[in-house]
Amino acid sequence: MADVIITRTVAELRRAVREFRRGDETIGVVPTLGALHDGHIALVQEARKRAGRVVTTLFVNPTQFAATEDLSKYPRTEEADLARLREARCDILFAPEVDEVYPRGFATTVSLEGPAVAGLEDRFRPSHFAGVATIVAKLFTMSGADVAVFGEKDYQQLCVVRRMARDLDLPIEVVGFPTVREADGLAMSSRNRFLSPEERGLAPLLHRTLRGIADAALVGADLEAELAKGRTAIEAAGFRLDYLEARQADNLAPLGGVGLAPARLLVAARLGATRLIDNIALAPARN
Ligand code: PAF
């Protein structure tokens, strides 16, 4: 079996992609910050189903971290990531240095409205999505991929990327993949490793609360009242809640008069020093 081709520069990446294109292969891309877990590997496997060859990008993008968020603490585990990508039969790893992505004089940022200013993550991480959208647009054009797979766990990010690809006419299909969860419901995340054993025990409450609200609303309970109960339960368990909201699933606008479907429940809360996010569809249990 061919090994993963490791590329560090845009020229190397393009050369490797060009070789595959010569054989008429389609290309899928899975953008990541590294510290790969089973959730990422599921994205690579989904990309394998949708394209002939898969590029995984591993880049801890400094422009999406605020000064208050410790970029240097972000886990960097390239050797282990590579081993996992080998097992998942990824074809190309793109792991550039910061200077390759943001050379001296870099001066362009994607400017966003719509789902990027929905008052969810953007309220707590105001510069985050400009950094995400800019790097994702660059990774799309660097890889020239036909399809990109993103986890639904970062649901606002998925909406922002979809909107951006559509608005900028980027010739790529953006696919959302359901959140991969631990057996107790906790959404897989590179940040889970920072939870103490006690916090790890509490963390699945976020998913249980979302599920409880969805199930109650689906049998006719008042959604706002259920959200209020959920907020109280999360805070009583010792989380510091950033938000717990129900929004329209496609653009993250408030539900207003549009009813329950298709809607999304989204939550963000801090447990000690770790910030956790999660979301589910306001629909019968699926994940
Ligand atoms: O979700 C992530 O891992 C990152 O935000 C992404 C999409 C790789 C952009 O840096």
Query: Average pLDDT in the 135-143 region?
Result: 98
* 127 annotated ligand binder: no
**Closest to 132 in 3D by CA, of 105, 149, 153, 111:** 111
In whole angstroms, give the CA distance from residue 204 to residue 186: 5
For 272, half-sphere exposure in the C-beta direction (CA atoms, 13 angstrom radius) is 14
Tell whether 11 and 94 lie within a shared domain. Answer: yes
**Closest to 216 in 3D by CA, of 157, 171, 282, 138:** 282
Ligand 1 proximity of 136 Cβ (cutoff 6 Å)? yes
Matching residue, tokens 């809640």: 241
- What does the DSSP 8-state code read for residue 254? B
Atom of ligand 1 nearest to the CA of 31: 8
CA-nearest residue for atom 1, ligand 1, is 32
* 3 annotated ligand binder: no
Using the 3D structure, point to which of 118, 147, 177 is the last residue of a domain.
177
For 251, half-sphere exposure in the C-beta direction (CA atoms, 13 angstrom radius) is 9
Q: How many domains does the chain divide into?
A: 2
Task: Tell how far the Cα of 256 is from the centroid of ligand 1, in angstroms.
Answer: 30
In whole angstroms, give the CA distance from residue 236 to residue 230: 10
In a domain, 221, yes or no: yes
DSSP 168-200: TT-S-EEEEEPPPB-TTSPBP-GGGGGS-HHHH
pLDDT above 80 (res 286): no
CA-nearest residue for atom 3, ligand 1, is 32
* 196 annotated ligand binder: no
Of how many residues is the chain composed? 287
- Please state, as a whole number, how many other Cβ atoms lie within 10 Å of the Cβ of residue 107: 5
Strand ordering across the sheet containing 274-281: 240-248, 263-271, 274-281
Task: Give the pairing type, strands 5-7 and 27-32.
Answer: unpaired
User: Using one digit for the tens of pLDDT, what is the confidence trace for 190-220?
Assistant: 999 999 999 999 999 999 999 999 999 999 9
In a domain, 254, yes or no: yes
What sign has the CA pseudo-torsion 106, 107, 108, 111? positive
Report CA dihedral (54, 78, 132, 50) to the nearest 10 degrees: 10
Using the 3D structure, point to which of 177, 211, 229 is the last residue of a domain.
177
Task: Tell how far the Cα of 285 is from the centroid of ligand 1, in angstroms.
Answer: 27
Domain extent, residue 232, equals 190-282
Atom of ligand 1 nearest to the CA of 57: 8
In a domain, 183, yes or no: no
Tell whether 17 and 89 lie within a shared domain. Answer: yes
Tell whether 162 and 40 lie within a shared domain. Answer: yes
Tell whether 13 and 97 lie within a shared domain. Answer: yes
Task: Tell how far the Cα of 150 is from the centroid of ligand 1, in angstroms.
Answer: 8
pTM for this entry: 0.97
Confidence of residue 1 (pLDDT cuts 50, 70, 90): low
- Please state, as a whole number, how many other Cβ atoms lie within 10 Å of the Cβ of residue 103: 8
Confidence of residue 287 (pLDDT cuts 50, 70, 90): low
pLDDT above 90 (res 168): yes
pLDDT above 90 (res 64): yes
The pLDDT score that the predictor gives to residue 69 is 86
In a domain, 206, yes or no: yes
**Closest to 55 in 3D by CA, of 81, 13, 8, 93:** 93
Query: Average pLDDT in the 81-110 region?
Result: 98
Judge whether 40 counts as a catalytic residue. Answer: yes
CATH of the domain at 125: 3.40.50.620
Residues with Cβ within 8 Å of residue 36, at least 6 apart in sequence: 58, 77, 80, 81, 84, 85
Query: Average pLDDT in the 179-193 region?
Result: 97
